[in-house]
Each structure stands twice: as C-alpha cells, then as structure tokens.
Amino acid sequence: MLSLITPILLFTGLAVGAAVQKSSSPPTCKYIPGDKGWPSAELWNRLNSTVGGRLIATHPLAETCHGDTFSSTECEYLQENWLVPDVFMLTDSDSTPLPGEILHPWFTNQTCDPFTPNMTPCELGNYVSYSIEITGVHEIVAGLSFARKNNVRLVIKNSGHECVTFPPPPPPPSVIASRFQLEQIRVLIILPFILYRVDEDTILNSYFGKSTGKGALALWTHNLNRQEVVQYKSQHYTGPALKAQSGVTGAQMAEFAFKHGYRAVVGSCPDVGVVGGFTQGGGISLMSGVYGLGADNVLEWEVVTVDGRHITATPTRNADLYWALSGGGGGTYAVVVSMTTRLFKDGTTSGAMVEFRIDSVGGVEQYWDAVGIFFDQLRSLISTYGFDADIIVTNDTLSIFSLISASHTAAELQTLMQPLVEQLEGVRKGQNNTLQQVVTSNTSDATSYFKLYSTTLEPLIAPNPLTPVLGGRFVSRANMDENPGAVIDAMRVAVDGGKFTLAVSALNLTT
C-alpha cells in the first residue's frame, strides 16, 4: 500500500510511512486470497461446520477447458452455448452446484473461459472464492458475521442476472400516492452483435457484475423458494397476498399465483428472481400499466441486517428500510429473506404481436415515418387502456414482441389495435391508390395471465443468449408529446448502420 500512496504524498513520504507502520486502524481494503490477513483454511472449515456443510468453493464452469481437467467434449459444448442462461443457472453434467457463476461472464475478465488456450491457467479472477447455500436465517447471520470479523468482501447472489439499478431515491410515505403519476417510455440501447434478451429486472438496468467479486463470500439465496398465499391485513391493505422467499423466480411466482386463482406482478424474463433485482430495483412488469411496478405492491420485507438482526420492514415498522428496499436496488441495504406482495384476481388476458419492415413500407424515409406514427398511436393505447408493450427497433424493423392487456379478449384487443394498423398501412399505397400490406400482426388470449405468458412470450425469451452490453434511458410522456420528431431522430441515430438495437418498454404508471 505504501507504494500506492507515496507518489501522491512524496514530500511527506517518511512521516506517512512511519505513521502507517504504527497504526492499529482497521484495513481500508477487503482481504483477498494471497493477503496476509486472508482467513486460514481452519477458519473456512469452521464456517463450513457452522452452516451445516453448505460452504461451496468456487470451481469455474470453464475449468473443463483448461489444464488437467480439460475435456474436449465439454469445452466444445461451452463454446457453443457460452451465453445461454441455463448453462450458468443450472448445473453441469455432474450435477455440481454452480453458485459462483453469473449470467454476464465478461466480468470475470477471461480468467477462466472456454475461448482461451487450454494450457492457460484457470484462475478465479473476479469470481467469488466461496458461497454459502442459504436455507434459512442462520446461514445468513453466520455469513455476515464471518465476513465482518475476517474483513472479507460479501455479496448476495440469487439468479446471477446482475442487475444494478439507478432509480430516484424512494419518497417518504406522505407522497407515495402520487409518486408514479407519470407516463414514461423506457428506451434501452443494446449492442446487437450477439442475440439478446430483454430482462425487465429493474427500472433502469445496467449489468455491472454486482453479485460477484474477487475474494468474496457469496450468500447464495437461489434455493430459498418457498411460497404461500396469505390473507394480509394492515392499515394500508387488506386482501390476498403472496409471501415468497428470495430465490423465487418470475415463472415460479406467476405459476404459483395462477394455481391459486391470482396474478402477481412479475417481470417478463422467467428466470429472473422476483424478490431481488426485479422488485428491489423497481420492477417493470407486463401488467404495470394496471397494477403498478413490482415495488408498488410490496407489503413487507423480511430481512437480516448487516449486524445480524432478523426483522420485518413495512410502511409503519422500520419504514426507512422498507422504502429503501422498495426500489433502491438489490444487495444494498439488507439481506432479504422474503417479501410479501399483493395478489390480484386472475382472468382473461390477451396479447398482440406487430411487425413492419423497411422493405414493406417502401424505403428508409417511409420506415422512419412509420416508426413515428407507431409511437404516436401507441401513446393513446397505453394511456387509455393500461397496455404494456415491449418493442424492438432496429435500422430496418420494428417489432412489438409483446403487448399485454390484462382485461381484454383477443378479438377486443384486435379491434382496439386496428387504428394503429390502419395508420401504418397508409404509409405505402400501390400504383392504383390501393393499400398494400405493411404490417404483420396477430392477437391471442387465455383465461389467465400465466397461461398466455407461458405459451406465447416465455418460449421466445427464455432460450435467448445474453446481452453483452446494456445501457438505459428514460423518455417521458411529456417529451414524446412535445417533441416526438426529436425522439424518433435520436432513435434513428442510435441504430444507424445496424450496430445498435433499441429495446423499448412503453407503459403508463398510474398507481
């Protein structure tokens, strides 16, 4: 450390050196393997005993591509599927748990991946060193205590989607009634050189590798997956609610709620943890236009604080922690054991998919005119009916891969969408002034949200490889109303040349 600070304080180098040698203050950096203060094997073994043998040393998935563990068959499989989510989230061929893996492996900085030469050493690099498989509060308290006493970095790992949020600070309860009285269209700019997925984990996503870290101890909450329907009663809400532990995924919660006759506010990606990055990051859902964000619906949080206290946070008890967790970002304020969230009566749900291409509208300028018409018409549908739409915009194609109505049949939705389709069809006319088909569209419905989602949208999203780079922007309703041309021009610049893709979530938050 002296070599780092001496160039800055060169004129007082000797005095600083003497002071540092005599100081008994705690270290300013966390210990990593190789440091003198790194916990001994005896201490790690003692922790393993404390947590009932649930301490797991990290072995990178790609170690089968290196050194003595090399397997050409397994390595070729990893090379072909390196960005497929199931490869990182499930288990390897020997059914070995993979708690140290994350779904955005570029944060490991190629210290062990399937593309470097097989004689290159497989090193942990930015992987966590150990993980505790969490089954209850006891292991969480033990992990927190160990990390604090031994000056080891601690991270919380659930599904590994790596979502870090940048929402505004949560407001006090006195203004909660109006905190989402605005309509906004979210624009996410994504590098498209690998097929990508759109994960509605948070209000504003940026994949920063937050659930990993060199030399860290991870609290792996993925197997905390119990759920139960409860009848909740408080001064703010009385009615059905779902208590879900922190490892529950969106698909699991949606199916569980469906089986009990309800809907829950979950994201569009089936394997994103609902309680972690999704809800703690705000939680944009395909039903947010009707029910609000995921964070709007949380009734209470069950957590373990950094000092080991097992408490519950509600709007009236530990309220500051409740509001911080309700949109302030996962893995930040406490270790969440479970959350209790509102449920809604299930019923008919419909969806639409719409697409038009540059060749169908007649050229580049006509295409961008059609994009402008599309967003102009979409604003009305969102405002009036509470629809939520996920849209892909490239330099030659616009596609709604999901527009959800929480209350209309397919026939009703098709009728409501017809003005938008007719406006787009009018962009191009034939030589005899007859309309030519510009838009491809279809609608479908089901008797529940889960049935519609699991048969239409989930099969499209679940298998897609991961996004290499993601950035986000808000575009407000006011901006779209007052200066739509500039917004469309900005989209056009962003995707020009085919190097970027826009993934847009359009919704009206009114709850």
Output the six-digit token pair for 366.
């006509």
Strand-pair category, 349-357 with 440-446: antiparallel
Contacts of 380 (CB under 8 A, 6+ apart): none
DSSP single-letter state for residue 25: P
Cβ atoms 99, 220 nearer than 8 A: yes
Percentages helix, strand, coil for the chain, rounded to the nearest 5? 35, 25, 40
pTM of the model: 0.82
Distances in Å between the Cα of 319 and the Cα atoms of 99, 238, 299, 301 are 32, 19, 11, 10
pLDDT confidence of residue 90: 57
Of 455, 273, 283, 438, the closest CA to residue 362 belongs to 438
pLDDT confidence of residue 164: 39
pLDDT confidence of residue 9: 30
Residues in the chain with pLDDT < 70?
1-25, 89-97, 160-209, 429-436, 462-471, 510-511
pLDDT confidence of residue 205: 33
Distance from C-alpha of 61 to C-alpha of 91, rounded to nearest angstrom: 9
pLDDT confidence of residue 20: 37
Output the six-digit token pair for 253.
């919660």
> Which class for 72: exposed (0-12), middle (13-18), buried (19 or more C-beta within 10 A)?
exposed
pLDDT confidence of residue 469: 62
Cβ atoms 274, 249 nearer than 8 A: yes
Strands (E), 221-364: 227-233, 238-245, 262-263, 298-304, 310-313, 335-342, 344-345, 349-357
Instruction: Name the CA dihedral angle for 507, 262, 159, 298, rounded to a multiple of 10 degrees.
Output: 70
Backbone angles phi, psi at 134, to 5 degrees: -85, 125
Q: What type of residue is 222?
A: H
pLDDT confidence of residue 70: 92
pLDDT confidence of residue 364: 93
